Amino acid sequence: MSAGWGSSTTTPPAASRGPELSASRRLLRRIMELAAAPIQPQQRLDRIVGLIAADMVAEVCSIYVRRGASVLELFATQGLKRDAVHHTRMKPGEGLVGHIAQHCEIVNTSDAQSHPHFHYFPETGEEIYRSFLGVPILRGGEVAGVVVVQNKVARVYAEDEVEALEIIAALLGEMLASGGLVDPDLYADFAEAASPPRRLTGIALVPGVALGEAILHQPPPRVTRFISDNPELETARLERAVQALRFDVDRLVAGAGLGLGEHGDVLEAYRMLSQDRSWSRRLHEAILTGLTAEAAVKRVQEETKVHLSQSSNNYLRERLLDLDDLANRLLRHLVGTPRHRQPTPLPERAVVFARTLSPAELLDYDRERLAGLVLEEGSHTAHATIIARALEVPVLGGVERALSAARDGDRVALDADHGQLFLRPSDDVVQAFHRAVGARQQASERALSLKDLPPISRDGAQVRLSLNGAFLMDLRAVDVTGADGIGLYRTELAFMARGSYPSVEEQTQIYSKVVDALGGRPCVFRTLDVGSDKVLPYWRFPQEENPALGWRAIRLVIDQPQLLRQQLRALITAHAGRELRVMFPMISVVSELEHARNVLEIELAAARRAGLVPPSRVEVGAMLEVPALLFQLDRLLERIDFLSIGTNDLLQFLFACDRGNPRLHTRYDPLSPPVLRLVREVATHCRAHDVRLTVCGEMATQPLEAMALVGLGIRDLSLSATSMGSVKALVRSLDVGALGRLLDRLIELPAHSVRDTLLAYARDHRVELPPELPRGLLEHV
C-alpha cells in the first residue's frame, strides 16, 4: 500500500536532529509571526525570503507564484536583482522553476546551468549561482508556486536542508491559501492559477441552470496551528485521533451490512487504508520536523493529492477520493471541525456542493438564496431531489470528486440541462452561459402564455393538471401556472423543517393557511410519510438494514396511532365546512387502508361530539406504491374515492432497484413495457370502479413520460410547477386516441425501453415537446 501515498524524504532519527529541529521551529515561528503582522503582502514576502536565506545560509532565496493558468512570476527575492521581481515570468515546464511547477518535484543540483531544464533569464543575475534547490508550494492539491534557494559554491543540499525547505513550502502554501502573501486586488489571477477552470459532468437530476458561488456542505477542516515544540505531545494527539478514526471506519463498515461482494470489498479496502502503516509512518515523521499533528496530516494530504492525481495508475487515481476523505476525517478528530457547515448567511446565489443530502439538510438552507445543488451521489427519485424539484432548484448528481475540485467561494456555472458544470469558468463560458439562460427564459415565457388555456388534446381528451406542494410558498405557483389545484401536498416536509414535533394547533394553523390560500381549489393532503431517507431531526429512528422497506409511512403511524390521530384531527378542524381530501401513503394491504379509515372515522365522530363544524365532504385516497396491492386492487377500489400512483417508490419496488443508487438510475426505464402495462391495467380497473386515478410521481413531471401516461388513459397528473407549461403544451398538441393505439402495440414488445419509439412518434406527429438547449453551446469552450 505504501506506494499509493506518494514519496517522502527519509527522516533521520529524532535524537540526532535536536539542534536542527530547534532551528527549524524558530524559523517557522518567525514566519508565522510575520503572517500575523499588520503589513502589506509584498512586505511580508520580502521579509520571508530574507529570513529563509539567513536561516539556510543561502545567498539567494526566491518565491515564484503561479498566475493564471500558464505563468509563474517572481514575486520576491533575496539575492537576485530586485528589478526582476514581478518582471521575470516563465511558463510551466520552462526552466528549472517551470519544471518543478509542471511535474511537482524537487530539484536539487550542484550545477544549475548544466541541468537539462535550465533556462537563462538574464534580468535576474542568477548566472553566478551554481547550486540550486527548488521545492513546489502546494495549495489544494495544485502547485501554487515554487520556493528556491541558491548559492555560488557548487554543492548538493543535504537531506535536512531539503526537508526544512519542504516544511517551509507547506507553510507558505497555507499562507497563500489564506491570502496573506498575495494582494488579491492587485493580482486577481492568482486565485485562478491556484484553482484553474474545470468542467465536471454528472447526471441531470433536476433541469435548470444557475450561475452562482460554491458553498461546500461539508467544508474541509482548517488548520490554524502549525508549529509545536513538543513532538511527544503531538504524537500522542495523533495516535488518539488515528484510533478514533479507525473506530469510526470499523463502525461504518459494520453498520453498512453489505457483507461480501463489490460494495463490501470497497468498504473493506477503505478500512485497510485507514490502517496503512506507511501512512502512519509518514504522519509521525512530519511531526518530528516540528509540525503539529494537524499540520502533519495536512502536509501528507497535500503531497498525496498531488502524487496520486498525476498517477497513470487508474486504481491509485480512484483511491484518491478515499484517501482525501480519510485525511479530512482525521483532521476533524484533531481540530474538532463539525462534519457539516454551521448556519451562516448564504451568498445571494449559492450553489451547494455535497456528497449527498438528506431532505432535512436541504431544508436547512435559505431557499431564497439556494441557486443549485451539486451532488457526488444522488438519483432522480431520491427525496432530496424531489424536494429540490419542488423548490425549482436545479440539481446535478453523480459528479465524481466534486467536493475535492470545488472550494468555498468559487464561481460556478451549473448547466443541469446537459449534465455539466463549470468551476471557476472563463469569461467565454460565462457569456455562453448567459445565452443559455436567455434561451431557457424564452421557453418559460412560452409556457406562461398557456396559463389560461385548458389542457385539452386535439381529439378532445381533457386532462387535469395539478401541482405538487409542500410549503405555503409553493401555492403561489397555482395562480402563476393556471393549475387546477394541489394534487399532492407533502405534509411531512413541514415536520422536517421544524426543530420539534408540531402540536395539533400548529398543524391546524398550517393546513388552514393552505386551504385558505387555494380559495376553494382542491388539495390532496398526504398524511405523514416519514422514514427511509425522510427523517425528523428531533426523532431517533431505528437502525435498519434497508430503511426503504422498513418502518415508514403508514406502518409507522399504525404503530404510533397518536401521530395519525393528531394529524387527522388538525386536517378535520382546518377543513370546517369545506371539502377534505386525504390520502394515505405506502398502503401494502387493504387492511392497512381500513385501519387508517377507522381512525379517520373516530376523529370525525369526536369532532361532531365536540360541536365542531365537520368538513362538508371527505374523500379518502390511497397511494399505489407497493406491488402487493395490485393483487388486491379491486378490493381496495371498493373502499376509496381516488387512487394515486406514486411512481417513484412503485418502480423502485417493481424492479427491486434502489432509487438512491446512482449506478442504477438508468438501468430500468419507466418507459418500458412492464411499467406501461401496469399503468394501463390500473387505469382499466379504476374506470370499472368509477375511482379517480392520478399519477403524482416523477413520471408525471417528465414531458415524454407524461405523454405516455395520457395515452394509457391517465386523465389526472400532479407535477412540479416547472413542468406545468411544457406538459400542458404537450397535451394540447396530442392526438390521444392515435397514441393509445400505438401504446397498445408497444406494451407487447419484449423491449427494455420504448423511449426512442415514443420520441420519434412525438416528432413525426408534431407533439410539442420542450426545446432542448444546444448541447454544444457550452461544451465548445
Other Cβ atoms within 10 Å of 23 Cβ, number:
16
For 129, 172, 412, 620, 778, the CA distances from 136, given in Å and listed in that order, are: 20, 10, 28, 69, 34
3-class DSSP assignment, residue 179: coil
Contact yes or no for 648/383 (Cβ under 8 A): no
For 84, 175, 291, the CA distances from 34, given in Å and listed in that order, are: 24, 10, 18
User: What is the spatial distance between Cα 409 and Cα 192, in angstroms, rounded to a whole number?
Assistant: 12
Q: What does the buried/exposed string (b/e) look like for 442-458 if buried means 16 or more CB atoms within 10 Å of the residue's CB? A: ebeeebeebeeeebebb
Torsion of CA 321, 327, 332, 338, to 10 degrees: -10
Active site residue 104: no
3-class DSSP assignment, residue 560: coil
User: What is the spatial distance between Cα 424 and Cα 414, in angstroms, rounded to a whole number?
Assistant: 11
C-alpha cell at 601: 372515522
What angle, 0 to 180 degrees and rounded to 10, lies between the N-to-C axes of helices 314-335 and 293-309?
160
C-alpha cell at 525: 393532503
Contact yes or no for 623/585 (Cβ under 8 A): yes
The maximal CA–CA distance of the chain, rounded, in angstroms, is 103
H-assigned helices in 579-702? 590-609, 633-637, 647-654, 673-689, 698-701
Helix (H) or strand (E) holding 481: helix 476-481
Contact yes or no for 8/301 (Cβ under 8 A): no
User: What is the spatial distance between Cα 301 and Cα 761, in angstroms, rounded to a whole number?
Assistant: 54
Percentage helix, strand, coil for the chain under 3-state DSSP, each rounded to 5: 50, 15, 35
What region, left, alpha or beta, does residue 462 occupy, with left being phi > 0 and alpha being psi -120 to 50 degrees? beta
In one-letter notation, the amino acid at residue 513 is K
Q: Provide the terminal-to-terminal Cα distance of the chain, rounded to the nearest Å.
A: 39
User: What is the spatial distance between Cα 619 and Cα 485, in angstroms, rounded to a whole number?
Assistant: 15
Residue among 744, 738, 743 at smallest CA distance from 764 = 738
User: What is the spatial distance between Cα 400 and Cα 595, in angstroms, rounded to a whole number?
Assistant: 46
User: What is the spatial distance between Cα 457 and Cα 730, in angstroms, rounded to a whole number?
Assistant: 8
Q: Cα-flanking dihedrals φ and ψ of residue 241, to 5°?
A: -65, -40
284, 307, 383, 418: the active-site residue:
383
Mind telling me the catalytic residues? 383, 696
